[in-house]
Amino acid sequence: MSTHDLPEDLSPATRVVALGRPPRDPGAPVNPSIELTSTYAADGAVGYARAGNPTWLAFEEALGSLEGGDALVFSSGMAAVTAALSLAPHGTPIVASKTAYNGTVARLLDAKADGSHEVRWVDLTDTDAVIAALPGAALVWLESPSNPLLEVADLPALAAAARAHGVISVCDNTFATPLGQRPLEFGVGVVVHSVTKYLSGHSDLILGATVTAATDAGRALRDRLAHQRLLGGAIAGPVETWLALRGLRTLAIRLERASANAAELASRLDGHSAVARLRYPGFGAMVSIEVAGDADAAERVTGAVRLWSHSTSLGGVESQIERRRRHELEPETTPDNLLRLSVGIEDVDDLWRDLDRALGQA
Ligand SMILES: *Cc1c(COP(=O)(O)O)cnc(C)c1O
């Protein structure tokens, strides 16, 4: 890739466009190619495509630059979560929040049940309680803002405390994206992403990633994660990776519009007669509401929308709505009547009219 000849100090909105492109040789393509091969002629840098693929490198260069570290792409967000959790040696304690992404919580419950790890459950918004749980732990799992409660943790304080106790900190940065916050700058050890969501942004693929600092300690973590990817085998397809890079090109402009829409909808939802509680962290494009009424009332809303997509997942250009407790894996910390709204880039008045009418059915 060609970062070396780009000007320094480019803003993130420029970097998503400029990075991960081939060298500018005369006649060269402006986009990376989709490298469809399982193996390579002997004696090159990579011998077999489970160990590396040039299309991965293009995406990893762009994401790594945004987060300020070295990225590795995985086959899904959960593959990246699993690789990051594998950094805690068997038998060691892990500190985590019960209000993290439901797949992560389920994975930790499995690890506890089969005796692989002791799990110390904490409230991530209670900084002192998290710090008190750190001594002797191998890893602390941070997710902020959290899915779907949109709780915000004090990442700088928690990252510093984890470092002081020799605990590896991992931050799932899926909701904020590197345009919202860069956890490596706070001293977090590993950033995890579901690339499926905002980074790719079009609800058309499943991918994940880890990012680690470009320091000796960060590179040591990167090597362990790369080893886990090589032997765990949860590798990204080149086609999905290429599509993710194409989606990433518009991240800044998509987030700008979606975040503005979310702020506007949050202000209109505040005090709405059908909304018992509004959850909006003040940035980003995710909003959760607790409907005035029970789970059935919330289901009537998802059944009544016509423009919003009633579907799981988030971070796409299209607005989505879902009652999270419909999923068996969703922790009981998520209220039964909570609707998670992933606000897209449509016209905000069109979104409001559809949502307001659907809320009238609650
Ligand atoms: C979706 C999601 C994941 C899991 O990612 P997949 O790409 O679905 O495997 C992990 N963390 C968060 C916060 C998510 O929203």
Q: What are the structural domain ranges in the chain?
A: 12-248, 253-359
What was the pLDDT predicted at 3? 55
**Which residue shows structure tokens 């009219």?**
353
* CA gap 188, 211 in Å, rounded: 10
Of the residues 15, 21, 182, 197, which is catalytic? 197
End-to-end CA distance of the chain, in Å?
A: 53
* CA gap 52, 36 in Å, rounded: 12
One-letter amino acid identity for 298?
A
Phi and psi at residue 18, in whole multiples of 5°? Answer: -90, -25
Say yes or no: do domains 12-248 and 253-359 share a fold.
no
* CA gap 160, 167 in Å, rounded: 10
One-letter amino acid identity for 137?
A
Say if CB 205 and CB 196 are below 8 A apart.
Answer: yes
Of the residues 15, 21, 70, 101, which is catalytic? 101
Q: Which of 150, 196, 235, 330 to mutate to test the pocket of ligand 1 (most atoms within 8 A of CB)?
A: 196
CA of 193 to the centre of ligand 1 (A): 7
Phi and psi at residue 267, in whole multiples of 5°? Answer: -70, -30
- Residue 4 CA: distances (Å) to CA of 20, 260, 303: 11, 34, 52
CA of 328 to the centre of ligand 1 (A): 16
Of the residues 40, 50, 126, 224, which is catalytic? 50
Using alpha carbons, select from 199, 196, 238 the residue that is nearest to residue 65. 199
What was the pLDDT predicted at 5? 78
48 in catalytic set: no
Using alpha carbons, select from 137, 209, 141, 194 the residue that is nearest to residue 170. 141
Nearest atom in ligand 1 to 79's CA: 9
CA of 8 to the centre of ligand 1 (A): 32
Tokens of 78: 């959960």
| Residues forming beta bridges with residue 321, ordered by sequence position | 310, 341
Say if CB 39 and CB 48 are below 8 A apart.
Answer: yes
Produce one character per residue of 56-80: b if its CB has 16 or more CB atoms within 10 Å, e if not: bbbbbbbbbbbbebbbbbbbbbbbb
Tens digits of per-residue pLDDT, 157-182?
Answer: 999 999 999 999 999 999 999 999 99
Q: Which of 150, 174, 202, 313 to mutate to test the pocket of ligand 1 (most atoms within 8 A of CB)?
A: 174
CA of 176 to the centre of ligand 1 (A): 13
What was the pLDDT predicted at 328? 94
CA of 101 to the centre of ligand 1 (A): 7
Nearest atom in ligand 1 to 146's CA: 13
Of the residues 172, 257, 325, 340, which is catalytic? 172
The residue whose CA has the least distance to atom 7 of ligand 1 is: 77
Q: Which residues of the chain have pLDDT under 70?
A: 1-4
- Alpha helix (H) ranges present in 270-319? 295-304
The residue whose CA has the least distance to atom 4 of ligand 1 is: 77
Say if CB 333 and CB 98 are below 8 A apart.
Answer: yes
Say if CB 307 and CB 347 are below 8 A apart.
Answer: no
Contacts with 23 (C-beta within 8 Å, 6 or more apart), sequence order: 1, 2, 5
Q: Which of 102, 147, 203 to mutate to test the pocket of ligand 1 (most atoms within 8 A of CB)?
A: 147
* CA gap 140, 138 in Å, rounded: 7
What was the pLDDT predicted at 23? 94
Does domain 12-248 fall under CATH 3.40.640.10? My reply is: yes
For the segment(s) 253-359, the CATH number from 3.30.413.10, 3.20.19.10, 3.90.1150.10, 3.40.50.720 is: 3.90.1150.10
Contacts with 348 (C-beta within 8 Å, 6 or more apart), sequence order: 260, 261, 264, 265
The residue whose CA has the least distance to atom 2 of ligand 1 is: 194
Q: 335: cis peptide before it, omega within 30°?
A: no
What was the pLDDT predicted at 8? 84
CA of 44 to the centre of ligand 1 (A): 34
CA of 175 to the centre of ligand 1 (A): 9
Using a 6 Å CB cutoff, which residues line ligand 1? Answer: 76-78, 81, 101, 103, 143, 147, 172, 174, 194, 196-197, 206, 208
112 in catalytic set: no
Say if CB 200 and CB 218 are below 8 A apart.
Answer: no
Q: Which of 75, 101, 102, 203 to mutate to test the pocket of ligand 1 (most atoms within 8 A of CB)?
A: 101
